[in-house]
Chains A and B, each alone.
Chain A
Amino acid sequence: MSVVLKTPSTFQQYKTLLRKDLEQEFRTKEMITSMGIYALLVLVVFGAALGQTTQALDLLQVSGGLLWTLIVFTSLLGLNRSFNHEKEQGCLEGILLVPLDRSVIFLAKATSNILFLLAVEVITVPLFYFFFLTAVTPGESFWLLVLPLLVGTIGMAGIGTLLSTITVNTRGKDVMLAVLFVPIIFPLLFACASATTAIIVGAEGAMDVFYPALLLAAGYDVIMLLLSWVLYDFVISA
């Protein structure tokens, strides 16, 4: 009888890596809890900051931006954590010993980051609506909000995975990630905030802003994900 050694396919490797992240999360619930509570706290801060705003129109116009502020800060927290425990337990070294294509690590890590972020958004966006948008009437096509949220999350998780891999090896990780992350995702943030504001306000011609902004954000996603995918090999091997 001979032993058959089969190299797992790339997709299997990807699935294994992704499952590792998800299982760890299901066991500890560390990421979701910390990100969720953090998001809630940011909402409370918004409440204090906007305490004096009475005019409904003002709130409608700033709420798109506020939502994205919330998402950026929460994803910063999540991205910081996502590589921290890999580093702490020497897990990354183990993964790097396995003969697999390095970009698979990127894809798996980016996917798990996207999933965590989406999970947090599922909790926080309704909360945001509850706290800030029930008193005012957002535009009719409010539900289209999911599109910029999705596009923005993919882009942020993609480039954020690359950047957090860089910053986890530096001194002052948390600060460094913010310093790199915020300027680099600025275009995406700008486009997504424009799209979100357009549909929340729901003024006439909102769609003329919404679709171009969404398209530009998607373009950013494609370019930046490809770039991160190419560059990831260098970063993770360093």
Chain B
Amino acid sequence: MANAKKSHALPEGGQWPDAIAFWAVLAGAVLTTIGFLMAFLYAGPVNGASVDGMPEMIGGQMVSSKLLLSQKIFYFHMPVAIVSFGALAFAGYYSVRFLMTKNQRYDTCAKVAMEISLIFVVCTMITGDLWTRFEWGVWWTWDPRLTTYLILMLIIIAYFVLRGFIDEPERRSIYSAVVSIIALVDVPICLMITRMIPSSIHPVVLREGGMTGDMGMTVGVCMIGMILLGFGMYRLRFRQVRLAQRVQALKDELEEN
């Protein structure tokens, strides 16, 4: 998202991304609304309903016969999940930059990206869990993806708890950078391990059994909307944090005089 400039300039509030940040949020809101409407009005109401009269496509498998209205959650669930992981990746990138340069600005970037990641992870958990509740009839199951996102959420929360527990800014930024890099490496491993260990207890649900054109279109619109939203939110928050830091610095200076 906020990888606006890889040049030498430090990310700072008021640079060109801020000019479009507001519009990005607005466009994201509009696009996700369109995506929402498309999900219910444009995309095929039933996955496979167009093959009316060929019941073996629908029946036979309990799972596919329920890919129905509840499947509409998917149109927002997947983009939100991808944005959350993208934000985590940016947090990791900025953490590496921080460890290389020891410049506090990158620490601020990483922190804000982590925050965005947390917000989107929470959204992913909400949408995913409600889907689980209807499809599988349980509030929680240790399914690989659910588990991975729970772990991701816990690590991000731990990241913020850690920040709260350290007073020295230097040390806080180094430690949190290390933790966010570990998180970035740990999460894919978690998904891989929970997925690859064969287990007969959990149901295997084929969710993405191929998307039709209208479904792909809807997901695409939601995806672009969510990315814009995430980017805009990141810039807004970043500007606020930077401004707060400058206010603090100014206050300290005034007190000294």
| Set of chain B residues within 8 Å of A184, measured between Cβ atoms | 155, 182-183, 186
Q: Which of A195-238 contact B (CB under 8 A)?
A: 208-209, 212-213, 216-217, 219-220, 223-224, 227-228, 231, 234-235, 238
Q: Does A179 contact B (CB under 8 A)?
A: yes
- Helix, strand, loop or mixed for chain A's interface? helix
Contact B174 A235 (CB under 8 A): yes
Q: Does B29 contact A (CB under 8 A)?
A: no
Measured CA separation A217–B192 after assembly (Å): 11
Contact B181 A231 (CB under 8 A): yes
Closest approach, in angstroms, between the C-beta of B123 and any C-beta of chain A? 19
Q: Which of B175-229 contact A (CB under 8 A)?
A: 175, 177-179, 181-183, 185-186, 189-190, 192-194, 196-199
Smallest Cβ-Cβ distance to A178: which chain B residue: B158
Contact A212 B185 (CB under 8 A): no
Q: Does A105 contact B (CB under 8 A)?
A: no
Measured CA separation A172–B163 after assembly (Å): 12
Contact B182 A183 (CB under 8 A): no
Smallest Cβ-Cβ distance to B193: which chain A residue: A187
| Set of chain A residues within 8 Å of B196, measured between Cβ atoms | 212, 216
Contact B197 A169 (CB under 8 A): no
Q: Does A50 contact B (CB under 8 A)?
A: no
Contact A176 B151 (CB under 8 A): no
- Helix, strand, loop or mixed for chain B's interface? helix
The tally of CB-CB contacts under 8 A between chains A and B is 100
| Set of chain A residues within 8 Å of B157, measured between Cβ atoms | 179
Closest approach, in angstroms, between the C-beta of B76 and any C-beta of chain A? 26
- Selected contact of B155 from candidates A183, A213, A217, A231, CB within 8 Å: A183
| Set of chain B residues within 8 Å of A77, measured between Cβ atoms | none
Contact B161 A231 (CB under 8 A): no
Measured CA separation A216–B198 after assembly (Å): 12
Contact A166 B162 (CB under 8 A): yes
- Selected contact of A190 from candidates B99, B161, B175, B193, CB within 8 Å: B193
| Set of chain B residues within 8 Å of A231, measured between Cβ atoms | 178, 181-182
Measured CA separation A183–B104 after assembly (Å): 27
Contact A190 B194 (CB under 8 A): yes
| Set of chain A residues within 8 Å of B178, measured between Cβ atoms | 162, 166, 231, 234-235
Measured CA separation A176–B161 after assembly (Å): 8
| Set of chain A residues within 8 Å of B99, measured between Cβ atoms | 234
- Selected contact of A194 from candidates B166, B171, B183, B197, CB within 8 Å: B197
Q: Does B139 contact A (CB under 8 A)?
A: no
Residue numbers of A with Cβ under 8 A of B are: 159, 162, 166-167, 169-172, 176, 179-180, 182-184, 186-188, 190-191, 194, 208-209, 212-213, 216-217, 219-220, 223-224, 227-228, 231, 234-235, 238
